């Protein structure tokens, strides 16, 4: 697994703009090398702001959006089209505005007629979908090797929907799990597990605000993933923390680069 790299920007808007610019470059580079690129999207204020920045960028069409495989790191187990679902917000922010190929977009199951009372079954179905999309010769595992996995961070250290000391943080075999009794609403979700996240070539952790400063310092200071799950979100080649000044305010000076 990779060591963590920290980049600090002055404001939340710059964090989102920087992440969007970096993501466009990364997707183009991967497409030039391999033809198809993949990204795992995240929700939350910063995650959706990144997608809005992508939509507004004059360079967005440098990406061939028809050759991007799109996944989600977690999802709120709500009915299809619910405005609180991460995929609904992603479509509104970006995906309705670029020529994605529907067959390359892989949302997590919703609480529809099939799965309404069965988030665990929905999670198992998504895990099976990922397994079928993995290339045995290249991915060497039960999920595709995501090129970039975008993740947010909660004030208590959760990432995706993996909360401290929850059953999900102890998972070592399954790639997707149903999450019950979340400490923040909605209480039922679906999430990639840390083993699945760690199949990513690059993991980018995005967060802003002083309320995140303590947990950022804990994760980068060596606190274990059971207490701070985001500490276990590592990319195979790169783990990039994109922070604003407030979120980085409790890091030791040797971990904080100059502002960009």
Q: pLDDT tens for residues 222-232?
A: 999 999 999 99
- In this structure, is residue 137 part of a structural domain? yes
Q: Does the residue 187 lie in any domain?
A: yes
pLDDT of residue 260: 59
pLDDT at 257: 67
The proportion of the chain whose per-residue pLDDT surpasses 90, expressed as a percent, equals 90
| Beta strands at 189-192 and 74-76: parallel, antiparallel or unpaired | antiparallel
Burial of 253 (0-12, 13-18, 19+ CB in 10 A): exposed
In a domain, 52, yes or no: yes
Number of structural domains (the chain) is 1
Is residue 226 included in any domain, yes or no? no
Mean pLDDT of 7-19: 97
Is residue 1 in a domain? Answer: no
Evaluate whether residue 242 is within a structural domain.
no
Q: Find the domain containing 130 and state its range.
A: 21-198
What is the domain-level CATH number for residue 181?
3.40.50.1360
Model confidence at 139, pLDDT cuts 50, 70, 90, reads low
Rounded to two decimals, the pTM is 0.95
Q: Each residue of 150-184: pLDDT tens digit?
A: 999 999 999 999 999 999 999 999 999 999 999 98
Whether residue 163 lies inside any domain: the answer is yes
112: in domain? yes
pLDDT of residue 234 exceeding 90: yes
């Amino acid at each position: 697994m990779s060591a963590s790299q920290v980049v600090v920007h002055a404001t939340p808007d710059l964090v989102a703009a920087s992440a969007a610019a970096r993501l466009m470059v990364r997707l183009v580079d991967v497409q030039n090398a391999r033809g198809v690129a993949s990204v795992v999207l995240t929700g939350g204020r910063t995650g959706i702001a990144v997608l809005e920045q992508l939509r507004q960028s004059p360079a967005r069409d440098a990406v061939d959006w028809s050759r991007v495989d799109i996944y989600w790191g977690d999802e709120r187990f709500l009915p299809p089209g619910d405005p609180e679902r991460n995929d609904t917000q992603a479509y509104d922010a970006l995906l309705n505005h670029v020529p994605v190929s529907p067959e390359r977009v892989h949302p997590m199951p919703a609480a529809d007629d099939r799965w309404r009372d069965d988030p665990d079954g929905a999670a198992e179905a998504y895990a099976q979908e990922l397994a079928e999309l993995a290339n045995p010769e290249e991915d060497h595992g039960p999920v595709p090797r995501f090129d970039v996995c975008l993740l947010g961070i909660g004030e208590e250290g959760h990432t995706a929907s993996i909360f401290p000391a929850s059953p999900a943080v102890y998972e070592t075999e399954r790639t997707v799990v149903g999450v019950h009794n979340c400490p923040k609403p909605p209480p039922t979700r679906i999430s990639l597990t840390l083993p699945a996240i760690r199949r990513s070539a690059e993991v980018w952790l995005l967060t802003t605000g002083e309320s995140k400063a303590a947990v950022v310092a804990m994760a980068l200071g060596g606190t274990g993933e059971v207490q701070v799950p985001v500490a276990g979100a590592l990319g195979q080649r790169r783990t990039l923390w994109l922070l604003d000044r407030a979120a980085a305010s409790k890091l030791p000076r040797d971990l904080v680069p100059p502002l960009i």
